[in-house]
Structure 1
Amino acid sequence: MTTLTELNEQMKVRVEKISQISNTGQQPYAERYERTHSLSEALTLADDTAGVRVAGRVVSLRYFGKLAFGHLYDINGKLQFALQKKKLGELFAQFKELVDIGDFIGIEGQMMTTKTGEKTIDVHGFTFLSKALRPLPEKFHGLTDPELRLRRRYLDLVMNEESRERFKKRTHIIRTIRTFLDENEFFEIDTPVLTNKASGALARPFITHNNALDIDVYLRIAPETYLKRAIAGGFDRVYEFARSFRNEGVDASHLPDFTLLEYYCAYWNYVDNMNFTEKLIKHLLNSVMGTLEITYEDRQISFDGTWPRVSFRDLILNDCGIDIDQFATKEDLHQEIERQGITLETDVDISKAGRGTLIDLLYKKVSRPKLINPVFITHHPLDLSPLARKSDANPSVVDRFQLVVNGWEVVNAYSELVDPLDQAQRFKQQAEARAHGDTETMDVDNDFLTCMEYGMPPISGWGMGIDRIIALLTNTTNLRDVILFPLLRPEV
């Protein structure tokens, strides 16, 4: 372990090399470098290919008298380089004196393959690009502290191949979903991050202040109501990868800021949406993983076959014996939960929670942790869905589904409410619950109501936690590990 004194001494030596680099006629921090190939491209070149110019970070150096080997690194991998004193002359000594592990350099040379079979660039010349003042972590100890890997993700990427592959897969997953939606005639649009109303989901918002307008505004908790406005404006199918913010608890499967993909399709209902969802996810699995069977921790999860569909009421009834339809008030439901000895794990004040919040907490306690393979949960209680359409068959529930995998809600979707009179009444009920202390309710959004009053077609909408699906497909247990730069408390 490098001590602070040793670190300061190493930094001092590196700082002194800056002027030495300048004295050679090179720039210690260059403006640019003209490459002929990336490192991964150079690895495919035939031996004896000359005039190859590559660049990257030096991550290893080994000297053997008049011969030296090292590796350049970028996000796609490493390329070995070789320096021979008999070819380079004084440049060999200059390289040995001035170049440290962590520095960025450009190299020009000829491709060859070593006796050990490793593709290598034989160095004819080098250009200094950027001097690193801090040494990289030791090769064999690496960067193992979990919190330090989050705080200094740039070092985590350099030192840990697993992290590099995880974030490359994240990009692959998002690109695959985006391409699938584009090919199915969805338009990608942008909606506001700063909003006048905290709408689109049942969650506590972040509040900030706009100095120019002198008004308090919210960081969006979901893009839903704006995407629906776009449908009202004439778009048939829209989607957005939306950075969203919820001022709630943090754990392995919840973060205060996260990436939410939402799409909306005119003239679909929630059943059409379920069918499309299954096609999309299976396409994603086959494209990214090459299989519909994945391993998460020690569990095998199968996405094969037709996914089961079960109602919210039946799920809870089967798991704890409580028929939520038999308890019309939150007081009666709370009494039954206590009678059965079920402890709800939450930071929400139960005495102030509405019936919908209580039902949701009960589901998360007794049912959700048991759901491993993908399952569609349907027909949620009206209390839980202020923006969803009532079922024609049973007005106490809504035409909604959630896709749950490994105990995580991956997708939330429903037939959208497009009746402005019904929506106004539900906003009123939400406002009454908020007035009685339920903070996880939706505020009245009069501008959205005005949009509805101008008319909306039938719509089915959909939301996916991108970070959760990435965690599942990369076998990652904490969402912070699939986000490049997660929010952390400041270092002391």
Structure 2
Amino acid sequence: MSEQNKPNRFEQARLEKLEKIQSLGLDPWGQRFDNHQAIADIRDKAPEESGVEGEPVRVAGRMMLRNNKGKLRFFHIQDWSGRVQIMAMKNDLSEEQWELITALDLGDIIGIDGTMRRTNTGEVTVKATQVTILCKSMSQPPEKFHGPKDMEMLLRQRYIDLIYNEGVLPRMLKRTKIIQAVRQTLNDQNFIEAETPVLHATAGGAAARPFVTHHNALDMDLYLRIALELHLKRLMVGGVERVYEIGRVFRNEGIDATHNPEFTMIEIYQAYGNYESMMDLTEAIVVNAIKVSNESMVIPWGEDETIDFTPPWPRKTYADLIQEYAGCAMDDHDAILAVAKKNHIETENKHHDVIVNEIFEALVEDKLEGPVFVIDYPASICPLTKRKTSNPAVAERFELFVKGMELANAYTELNDPYLQEELFRTQLDGQDEEDSMAKMDSDFIRALKVGMPPAGGLGIGIDRLVMLLTDTRSIRDVIYFPLLRPETNE
């Protein structure tokens, strides 16, 4: 064995205990362990008085703390619902059982049969009558975490983060409850969940840079999807009147506190609706998600802030917000150029509305505490959106902002195939050729010619929703395995 592969002193000590467990005729990696109860459930079964023996219970979990006092051993085990103290007394156990207990380490996964007790200090405890080894841990638990190097280690070894960092596992389990609530809201309103392709011949449905891959058998490039939109709309053409998909989406762009190249979105389409229908639906989805994840519509944000999600939420026009925060009218070209110059926003070879939108992103978004619906965007930056009948320069689109972060994006969907084709062909000045919107999905135009009903469409960033509802500042902390650079040995 090379020096590099030799076990360190901690692993060597665990190897010796592993051998001891095997010498007792026990399987250190465990077997099936039926009928155990969640720790959170058994805690309510403890007697109110100390010294009184309660009902029998069976639990399983990872050993997190221990305190050896001669013939009396105390340790805590943890499952995904909580922790409980275990008390083991040498006089109550067989010699083999006691030998097993002395071979246990922090991090081991064990099963406990016993009875509920409450100690003299009032702590809920299980008095063990039988201990079962379910998995020997060969890794020393980490010391306390501190510094960016440890934070990167936790992201790479998320299993360590989930086990030893308080609040991480509950946050991720809350994510699941939030997604379940989103599905339930839609299912209750007769929406159908669909699955659409991840590999696309043409990347469309959003303005974003795609990841490119290659299919060997067909000798063709394909794109990881950047949106769910165009296939779901094809389903509406086919008669699926209320449809949604929760799926992974991939955008070959930067990484920051609210962006990860691989993220989870939900897109929803409702025939015979519009963007106002989608505002009502958005409120229902978020409110129901809050009900399963928080005790109130007013939820904490940081140490001294809150977010009040009590509906109805205000609706403000894009033009009014530009006037309020940029100090000029959206269609005043000279004034817009002056504001852009003052704020160091590049204007050369850019369409007027692109400049306006960059001003909106720079001067307005961070001011939107929300929740607030920003409605009625410039039509030229919304190529998949129906125009307002009263003003074709304005698109029936909204974005929902909370704490300066875009949470949802919705349209009254464009279903005119000829206008849609024209917009695909005449994308905005300055569009990056590598971006998806520089290409046209001809089959989507063909589908629109068959006839798509007037509809409202909505997209919500699931990761950002979870961030807001769990008081989390970084998207990395609500994704089990965020994208990281390859690990180095430095």
TM-score, with length taken from structure 2? 0.90
Please tell me whether the aligned partners of residues 254 and 261 of structure 2 are also in contact (alpha carbons under 8 angstroms): yes
Partner SS for 2:44: coil
Partner SS for 1:452: helix
Q: After superposition, what is the alpha-carbon deviation per residue over 1:187-219, rounded to whole angstroms, capped at 9, x for unaligned?
A: 111111111111111111111112232211111
Gap change, CA 1:170 and 1:446, over 3 Å in 2: same
1:264 equivalent among 258, 261, 269:
269
Q: After superposition, what is the alpha-carbon deviation per residue over 1:243-277, rounded to whole angstroms, capped at 9, x for unaligned?
A: 11111121111221111111110000112222332
Structure 1 residue 54: Cα displacement:
2.1
* Structure 1 unaligned blocks of 5 or more: none
Gap change, CA 1:199 and 1:437, over 3 Å in 2: closer
Matched, 1:320 2:320: no
Rounded to whole Å, the distance in 2 between the matches of 1:159 and 1:173 is: 23
Which residue matches 1:425?
A: 422
Rounded to whole Å, the distance in 1 between the matches of 2:350 and 2:206 is: 16
Rounded to whole Å, the distance in 2 between the matches of 1:240 and 1:379 is: 25
Rounded to whole Å, the distance in 2 between the matches of 1:193 and 1:184 is: 26
Gap change, CA 1:96 and 1:281, over 3 Å in 2: closer
Structure 1 residue 136: Cα displacement:
1.0
Rounded to whole Å, the distance in 2 between the matches of 1:456 and 1:333 is: 40
List aligned pairs for 1:290-329, cutoff 5 A.
290-297=295-302, 298-304=304-310, 306-327=312-333
Which residue matches 1:343?
A: 344
TM-score, with length taken from structure 1? 0.90
Q: Which moved more, 1:157-166 or 1:274-283?
A: 274-283
Structure 1 residue 287: Cα displacement:
4.3
Rounded to whole Å, the distance in 2 between the matches of 1:338 and 1:246 is: 27
Partner SS for 1:171: helix
Structure 1 residue 93: Cα displacement:
4.0
* Structure 2 unaligned blocks of 5 or more: 48-52
Gap change, CA 1:305 and 1:22, over 3 Å in 2: closer
Partner SS for 1:397: strand
Matched, 1:382 2:370: no
Aligned residue pair count? 477
AA of the residue aligned to 2:466: I
Q: Percent identity?
A: 39
Partner SS for 1:284: helix
Rounded to whole Å, the distance in 2 between the matches of 1:399 and 1:442 is: 22
AA of the residue aligned to 1:411: A
Which residue matches 1:491?
A: 487
Rounded to whole Å, the distance in 1 between the matches of 2:202 and 2:434 is: 17
Please tell me whether the aligned partners of residues 340 and 359 of structure 2 are also in contact (alpha carbons under 8 angstroms): no
List aligned pairs for 1:366-381, cutoff 5 A.
366-381=363-378
Rounded to whole Å, the distance in 1 between the matches of 2:182 and 2:462 is: 10
Which residue matches 1:444?
A: 440
Structure 1 residue 283: Cα displacement:
3.5
Rounded to whole Å, the distance in 2 between the matches of 1:33 and 1:109 is: 14
AA of the residue aligned to 1:11: E
AA of the residue aligned to 1:59: M
Please tell me whether the aligned partners of residues 352 and 438 of structure 1 are also in contact (alpha carbons under 8 angstroms): no
Gap change, CA 1:5 and 1:353, over 3 Å in 2: farther
Matched, 1:126 2:140: no
Structure 1 residue 32: Cα displacement:
2.1
Gap change, CA 1:326 and 1:188, over 3 Å in 2: same
Rounded to whole Å, the distance in 1 between the matches of 2:288 and 2:133 is: 46
Gap change, CA 1:308 and 1:7, over 3 Å in 2: farther
Rounded to whole Å, the distance in 1 between the matches of 2:28 and 2:120 is: 34
Q: Which moved more, 1:449-458 or 1:104-113?
A: 104-113
CA RMSD after TM alignment: 2.5
AA of the residue aligned to 2:396: D
Structure 1 residue 305: Cα displacement:
5.2
Which residue matches 2:50?
A: none
